[in-house]
Amino acid sequence: MRPSAALAPLFRRPGALALAACIAALAPPAVTAGVPASYATGSQAFVAEQAQRLGYSAEDLATLMAAARYRQDIIDAMNRPYEAKPWRDYRRIFLTPARIDAGVAFRREHAALLDKAELTYGVPAEVITAIVGIETNYGANVGRHRVLDALSTLGFAYPSRADFFSKELGEFLLLAREEQVDPRTAVGSYAGAVGLPQFIPSSYRAYAVDFDDDGRRDLWGSDADVVGSVGNYLAMHGWQRGAPIAARATLTDGVPTGIPVAGKRPALPQESLAQLGAAGVVPAAGALADSPPADARVALLELDGDGPEYWLGFENFYAITRYNQSNLYAMAVFQLSREIAAGSVPGPVQGPVQDSVQGPAQSSAQGPALSPAQGSGQDSARQVADDAAG
Ligand SMILES: [Ca+2]
C-alpha cells in the first residue's frame, strides 16, 4: 500500500509515519491486487490475538505488521520441489570443489572457535563447518528476504503450514526484542531462517548460545555464536561425542528382508549392528576407523546415487537430520565434513572419504541454500532451493 501523492509529505516526518501506519493498520483490510485476502485478515487476527502475549500494545504491533509485505515469490519458492531431487544431483550441488575449499579455509580461519566448540559439545569441527557451508556457503548467502515478510506471507497465506509459520512469526518478534534485532530490517531465507546457520526463530531462541560472552546471541554477526550454536543444537539433539556418523554398507546377501530400509526421510536408528550383521549387512571394509560396539544402533539407508547406494546411519547421522529433516541433507553434511577434514589435517583421517566430488566444478556461490533448521517435530520440513544468492 503506497501513500497517495497528497499524503506523501506527511511520511517525511517520523511521528506522522508511525501514526499513519497505525491508522492504516487499524483500518479494514485493504484489497490489494495479487495479495490473498487471508493475508490482511490473518495479520489483523495475529495482532488481536498475540499482541499481549508478545509484550506489544495492539497499536505498536499493528504498526509493525503494517510494514510487512506479502511476497508471492516466497510462496513460489516454497512450492518448488527441491527435495524431489535424487541423491546423485543433490550431491553435485553441495559437494563442489569450491565449497570444499572454502570449508577448509573456514576450518583454518576459525580453528580456535571450532576446537572450543568441539571440546564443549563433542561435535567435530568439520561437521559444524560443513553445516555452515551447506546452509549459507559459509555466510556468503544468509538470505535476502525480510524475515517479517517471509513469516507473515507463509503464516497468513500458505495454508498447509500457516500455523507453523505464524507461530514462528511470534517467536521472531520475541527474539528480536531479546537479542536487540530490528524486526523491520532483519533478513533471512524465504522460509524465515536466519543467520549463518539458518536457524528458524524458535530454534534460535531455544538453542543459540552466546559463545563469545558479549551478552548477545548473534547468529548474523558473531562467528563465535554461530559455531557454538550449531554445536549446541546438535548436542541437544542427541549427538554422541566420538561416535560414528555414517558408513557405507556392504550387503553380503542382497537387500535383507525384515529390516526397514530408509530413503530420503529420516529414520530412527533402531537396529543394532549385530542384528544387521546377522542379516548380511556390515560396514564396508575400512569405512570406520574404530569398530563400534555390536549394540550400536543404526538405520539402513538406500540413496539413489549412480545406482542404489546403501549406508548405515548411526545416532549422529540422525542428529544431523534434526537440523534439516532429510537424509540427503545429512549425507551431504557428512560427506562435506569428511572432505573438509581430509583437506585440513595432514595424514590419515577417520576412514576413507566416500564418494568424493563428482561432476563438473560449479560455483558454490550460485548453489542454493537449504531451508532452515526446522526444529524437532516438523516432519514436513522442506529442503528447497533458495531462489538466488544474496
Ligand atoms: Ca555473542
- Please report the DSSP string for 50-98 in residue order: HHHHHT--HHHHHHHHHT----HHHHHHHTS--TTS-HHHHHHHHS-HH
Q: What is the pLDDT of residues 195-223, one digit of tens each?
A: 999 999 999 999 999 999 999 999 999 99
224 alpha carbon – ligand 1 mean position (Å): 7
212 alpha carbon – ligand 1 mean position (Å): 5
- DSSP lists the bridge partners of residue 313 as 246, 299
Domain residue spans of the chain: 87-143+216-240+323-348+355-366, 249-321
Contact present, 282 and 310 (Cβ < 8 Å): no
Lowest mean pLDDT among 14-18, 208-212, 254-258: 14-18
- DSSP lists the bridge partners of residue 248 as 311
The three three-digit cell numbers of residue 356, written as one number = 568424493
**Coil/strand/helix, residue 261:** strand
What is the distance between the alpha carbons of residues 151 and 174, in angstroms, rounded to a whole number? 14
Contact present, 295 and 230 (Cβ < 8 Å): no
* 38 pLDDT above the threshold of 70: yes
pLDDT value of position 25: 47
358 alpha carbon – ligand 1 mean position (Å): 38
Angle at 48 between CA 43 and CA 52, to 5 degrees: 120
Helices 14-26 + 58-66 axis angle, to 10: 100
> Domain 87-143+216-240+323-348+355-366 adopts which CATH fold?
Lysozyme (1.10.530)
CB proximity list for 27: less than 8 A, separation 6 or greater: none
373 alpha carbon – ligand 1 mean position (Å): 20
Segment 40-47 long-range contacts (CB within 8 Å, at least 24 positions apart): 40/156, 41/156, 42/152, 42/155, 42/156, 42/157, 42/162, 42/166, 43/68, 43/152, 43/156, 46/152, 46/155, 46/156, 46/166, 46/169, 46/170
What is the pLDDT confidence band of residue 32, given thresholds at 50, 70 and 90? confident
Instruction: List CB-based neighbours of ion ligand 1 within 5 Å.
Output: 210, 212, 214, 216, 222, 225
* 140 pLDDT above the threshold of 90: yes
* Mean pLDDT of the 302-307 span: 96
Backbone angles phi, psi at 298, to 5 degrees: -140, 160
Q: What is the pLDDT of residues 155-179, one digit of tens each?
A: 999 999 999 999 999 999 999 999 9
Positions marked catalytic: 135
Residue percentage of the chain with pLDDT more than 90: 75
The pTM score is 0.82
Rg (CA), the chain: 23
